[in-house]
Amino acid sequence: MKNKVLKVVKIGGKLIEDESKFAEFLNDFVALRGPKILVHGGGNLATEIAGKLGYKTQMFEGRRITDADSIKVITMVYGGLINKNIVAKLQILNENAIGLCGADGMSIVSKKRPVKEVDFGFVGDVEKINSEFINSLLEQNIMPVFSAISCTEEGVLLNTNGDSVAAEIAKAMSDIYETELYFCFEKKGVLANAENDDSVIQEITSEKYQELLEEKIISDGMLPKLHNSFQALESGVKNIFLGDFRLLNKESVYTKITD
């Protein structure tokens, strides 16, 4: 009997880098009642620090190639600097947070992305979420803050897409909880016109999603988020919301994904 609602919230790196918006987000986040999980991205800080360290960031068709140097930087910046500072901020807001990556409790197990036309290096696709471990923390009112780093069965840390991590956690936890998934990013929601920030599509059903795909209305940046969302819905996630840093208080416009 799933009576409790669990909220899984993904916050994008660009929002984390905007101090005032991020502070407002965190206040809304701690105000959410019931069990919750935060998943964060890293934004441009990793690239910036990699640059300072003299590491070249290789890209292929706009996608980062995570070489041995890059995964070190990502583990430092996402798993250390950003993650621990978010935890400290949440603690003084009386949220009993702990900062984790996929290696902690083997909570996010992944496989290295297979090499096709190009080897993306230390990049992982989620294979298994340790929902039992995560639930054991939640049941003690410990709130996990996850950086988007997963771990292989061989103990190799891998850079992993933050939206996918959030979606996979929400899917896995759906066996135990009624799960809601929130994607907080720099837009107010899914836009009908990428050029117009106010063209938010407020509700997207799977039917509507097919239309939008056929009409090629959805910008490339949004496609993975929507793909993750509908996959999550099919896997038992109850509600999915996309919006900006104000999404959690539901006072601004946002996109709701429903069947």
- Considering only 33, 140, 196, 214, the residue that binds its own copies (CB under 8 A) is 140
CB 226 within 8 A of CB 209: yes
CA atoms within 13 A on the CB side of 219: 15
Beta strands in 1-102 (DSSP E): 5-11, 36-40, 59-60, 63-64, 97-100
Q: Please check if 63 is assigned to a binding site.
A: no
Query: One symbol per residue from 23 to 42: x for binding its own copies (CB under 8 A), - otherwise; what is it?
Result: --------------------
Total residues in contact with its own copies, by rule CB under 8 A: 41
Comparing CB distances to its own copies, the nearer of 66 and 255 is 66
- Paired strand residues for 63: 60
- Paired strand residues for 124: 112
Start-end of H helices in 139-187: 162-173
- Considering only 65, 106, 176, 192, the residue that binds its own copies (CB under 8 A) is 106
Q: Which stretch binds its own copies (CB under 8 A): 21-29, 132-140, 193-201, 242-250?
A: 132-140
CB 4 within 8 A of CB 37: no
Cα 108 off chain centre by: 13
Q: Measured between alpha carbons, how far is 129 from 100 in angstroms, rounded to an integer? A: 13
Q: Measured between alpha carbons, how far is 25 from 198 in angstroms, rounded to an integer? A: 20
CB 60, min distance to its own copies, A: 25
CB 247, min distance to its own copies, A: 24
The answer to whether 99 contacts its own copies (rule: CB under 8 A) is yes
Comparing CB distances to its own copies, the nearer of 21 and 72 is 72
Q: Please check if 102 is assigned to a binding site.
A: no
The answer to whether 223 contacts its own copies (rule: CB under 8 A) is no
Q: Measured between alpha carbons, how far is 55 from 127 in angstroms, rounded to an integer? A: 29
Comparing CB distances to its own copies, the nearer of 11 and 212 is 11
- Considering only 19, 61, 117, 154, the residue that binds its own copies (CB under 8 A) is 154
Q: Which stretch binds its own copies (CB under 8 A): 93-101, 173-181, 183-191, 238-246?
A: 93-101
Q: Measured between alpha carbons, how far is 68 from 144 in angstroms, rounded to an integer? A: 27
Closest CA to 14 of 184, 182, 248, 145: 184
CB 236, min distance to its own copies, A: 26
- Residues 162-191 interacting with its own copies (rule: CB under 8 A): none
State residue 50 phi and psi, 5-degree precision: -60, -40
The answer to whether 11 contacts its own copies (rule: CB under 8 A) is no
Instruction: Dig out the tokens for 7 from the structure.
Output: 């909220």
Binding site for substrate, by residue number, is 42-43, 64, 159
Binding site, by residue number, is 42-43, 64, 159
Interacting residues with its own copies (CB under 8 A): 49, 52-54, 72, 75-81, 83-85, 87-89, 91-92, 96-101, 103-106, 133, 136, 140, 142, 149, 151, 153-157
